[in-house]
A and B are shown apart, each in its own frame.
Chain A
Amino acid sequence: MNDRHRDSPPFPPDLPDHATASAWVHWQASRSAWQDLLQRWLNARTDGSWYARQCQYLALPTEIGRPMDLLFRTIGQAPRKLGKQDLALNDAERENANALQAGFNASRWSVDQAARVGMILAASSRLPNSTVFAALLDELANHGDIQEQIALYQGFALYPRDPALLRRAGEAIRSGIRPVFAAFALRSPWPQAMLTQSMWNQMIVKTFFLDLPLWPVQGLAERANENLGEILCDLIAERTAAGRSLNPEIWRLLALCPGERGHTRLRQRHAGSPAGSHEMHALQLAARESPHADIRSLAPAGPSGIAFSDEWAQLTQWQE
């Protein structure tokens, strides 16, 4: 509880009950726009009529039999009915998605994953609030196979930004199944908007343990904090003592986080790295992005003209 108040503004935002209720109503309005978007994507790539029919059934207020069983069945069948090919969105579709929801990035989604997220959205249309929606996600995740869990966590990009979903988010961060963790943590605007500081820090540190790249995580600069810098300094020391290597993106985080210990460490490393080395490139790239003037001064002058994430993607060999 305490650590999250060290953030400014607090994460997640503390909302009164009536505000949460109106947020759900507001989300329901966006939900139909996202559902239309997903339906259009699927129509362009596969026979979308089966999917459309399932979504209609799922949205009915009272179905025959047990409603959850219908959801389990349709979600289970999605890859068989629609295929697993990549969505492979074109530029216009990507821009369209980002316009509807900033940070929404389905560039690595497949057809069945889009359908599964769409089905969850369809089933949520008859739900009264975020708490019930969170319970639906719990039920799906607890009975989900590995690919269903991956789709469920990718969908967070479009889920309500409501603290009721934090418990489920915590399960993704705790998961030892690398692709499940990645589905939640990478290319999604939800974690940066909603996670408490301690959850955020756990998620970031775990990307190093899972050998995942860091640059697809959204909000690294915005959520940088001193505590994270401390944890990462310890991680560097631990790996150095063990003679093991680390993803160089860790320097980027130390440059972003406040904290003298991390900055000293970074300056020492900068002084000891040979010019032109892979590590020097990483250190300079990290310094260029730092909000701290003394660290920024380590970088050679002049704009690069390339987005940071592109440069880090080129620099790091870590594969998802």
Chain B
Amino acid sequence: MSDIQHAIEEMFSERSAACPCCGATLSPEMLRDLLRQAEHLQGEHQAFRRLTPGAGGMLIDPHAHMIARTTDDYEAMAASGVVAVIEPAFWLGQARTNVGSFVDYFSTITGFERFRAAQFGIRHYCAIGLNPKEANNRELADAVLDVLPRYLGKEGVVALGEIGYDEQTELEDRAFRAQIELAKEFDLPIMIHTPHRDKKRGTRRTMDTLEACGFDPARCVIDHNNEETVEEVLDRGYWCAFTIYPSTKMGNDRLAAIVERYGPERIIVDSACDWGVSDPLAVSKSARIMAQHGLDEATIRQVVYHNALKVYGLNGEMRETDWLDPAPVDQRTLYGGNSVLRGQAPRVEQDNPDRIV
């Protein structure tokens, strides 16, 4: 029995207590349960802390729709150790009706959002592409495919994505194949969105198409995997990403079990946080839970940092030096002289709420 448990036993024994926040009665069982939870949390904290020395506990969230998130999220992500995010182009929940909406969206995720992230010391990269849902609007899809080349060569564009299948229609297939060709032309890795419905067969078909088009699996991340898809994706040589959803689909514990089983090679974890129920701290929580499962530091680091850096760094647009030792011009324009290495706290000026006017 721990010291705290002794203290609790002495204070309360079998008596009930009033909850300090709501006044409700807390029975001895409830108190013991609360205590168990608190110790559990503390254990997680300690396990996580063992991770942080050395490389500074840096994390990358390689799939985050930050335009849908608040500045509180940015602050929390920075505090949790996130040094870089990748924002893949996707749909917005509401279908777009004209190509101008796409142009403004692409410009936002290469422009204003990069500035917003920079204010919190987070490096923002993106993937540009036409998502499979909106590929089903043929006229719109053609217009978007026409403007893509204007964006694919831009600074900070680390992949073509997220593309693939949603309902696996002919029009989706057409847009997918056209974009695989663009990825080859622009020397970009691909980020794949696997369908949520008919996932297993959809994922297999995605890989079949990529291979039929001659795309190198080593330059491609298949995202939103689960226990049913992981084996084939890894066997065929792809990078295998897991999106942690708070309630459904894929949880932190299941991810830890997968890493235990398959090892850290080519496995990536992301939050895919967006406007839906999602958790921008999913990567750091996954790191903590993997530590609780007893996975070693090197393994965890590979899954929450190094793997993403390796595959999304393939076209040279995302480098560790971007946050460890940024170019003077980037420091001057975007990061106010902050770099992770110097240990300066990157933060929005607390005393001037007018910075975004």
User: Measured between C-beta atoms, what is the minimum distance from A179 to chain B in Å?
Assistant: 4
In angstroms, Cα B151 to Cα A261, docked, is 51
User: Measured between C-beta atoms, what is the minimum distance from A205 to chain B in Å?
Assistant: 10
Which one, B172-180, B272-280, B333-341, is touching chain A? Answer: B333-341
Instruction: Tell me the A131-146 residues at the B interface (CB within 8 Å).
Output: 142-146
In the complex, whether B214 has a CB less than 8 A from a CB of chain A is no
Residue in A76, A79, A112, A148 with the greatest tally of chain B CB atoms within 10 Å: A76
Q: How many A-B residue pairs have CB under 8 A?
A: 91
In the complex, whether B56 has a CB less than 8 A from a CB of chain A is no
Interface size for A (C-beta < 8 A) is: 39
**In-complex Cβ contact of A143 among B103, B329, B349, B355 (8 A):** B103
* Contact (Cβ within 8 A) A176 B111: no
User: Measured between C-beta atoms, what is the minimum distance from B251 to chain A in Å?
Assistant: 36
In angstroms, Cα B330 to Cα A286, docked, is 33
- In the assembled complex, which residues on chain A have CB atoms less than 8 Å from the CB atom of B155? 76, 79-80, 145, 147-148
Q: What is the 8 Å Cβ interface bit string for chain A, positions 281-293, against chain B (1 contact, 0 not)?
A: 0000000000000
- In the assembled complex, which residues on chain A have CB atoms less than 8 Å from the CB atom of B336? 319
In the complex, whether B63 has a CB less than 8 A from a CB of chain A is no
Given contacts A179-B334, A244-B351, contact A146 B153 (CB under 8 A): no
* Contact (Cβ within 8 A) A110 B111: no
In angstroms, Cα B147 to Cα A150, docked, is 22
In the complex, whether A72 has a CB less than 8 A from a CB of chain B is yes
User: Measured between C-beta atoms, what is the minimum distance from A46 to chain B in Å?
Assistant: 13
- In the assembled complex, which residues on chain A have CB atoms less than 8 Å from the CB atom of B316? 80
* Contact (Cβ within 8 A) A144 B111: yes
* Contact (Cβ within 8 A) A209 B357: yes
Q: How large is the interface on B (under 10, 10 to 19, 20 to 34, 35 or more residues)?
A: 20 to 34
Instruction: Tell me the B317-332 residues at the A interface (CB within 8 Å).
Output: 317, 327-330, 332
Instruction: Tell me the B176-209 residues at the A interface (CB within 8 Å).
Output: none
* Contact (Cβ within 8 A) B330 A210: no
In the complex, whether A56 has a CB less than 8 A from a CB of chain B is no
In angstroms, Cα B354 to Cα A178, docked, is 11
- In the assembled complex, which residues on chain B have CB atoms less than 8 Å from the CB atom of A144? 107, 110-111
Closest to B151 in A: A143
**In-complex Cβ contact of A178 among B106, B330, B355 (8 A):** B355
* Contact (Cβ within 8 A) A76 B329: no
In the complex, whether A29 has a CB less than 8 A from a CB of chain B is no
User: Measured between C-beta atoms, what is the minimum distance from A208 to chain B in Å?
Assistant: 8
Given contacts A80-B316, A86-B329, contact A177 B111 (CB under 8 A): yes
- In the assembled complex, which residues on chain B have CB atoms less than 8 Å from the CB atom of A168? none
In angstroms, Cα B352 to Cα A80, docked, is 35
Q: What is the 8 Å Cβ interface bit string for chain A, positions 44-86, against chain B (1 contact, 0 not)?
A: 0000000000000000000000001100110011011000111
In angstroms, Cα B326 to Cα A79, docked, is 14
**In-complex Cβ contact of A320 among B154, B332, B349, B356 (8 A):** B332
**In-complex Cβ contact of A73 among B153, B328, B352 (8 A):** B153
In the complex, whether B115 has a CB less than 8 A from a CB of chain A is yes
Binding site for A on B (CB under 8 A): 103, 106-107, 110-112, 114-115, 147, 149-151, 153-156, 316-317, 327-330, 332-334, 336-337, 349, 351-352, 354-357
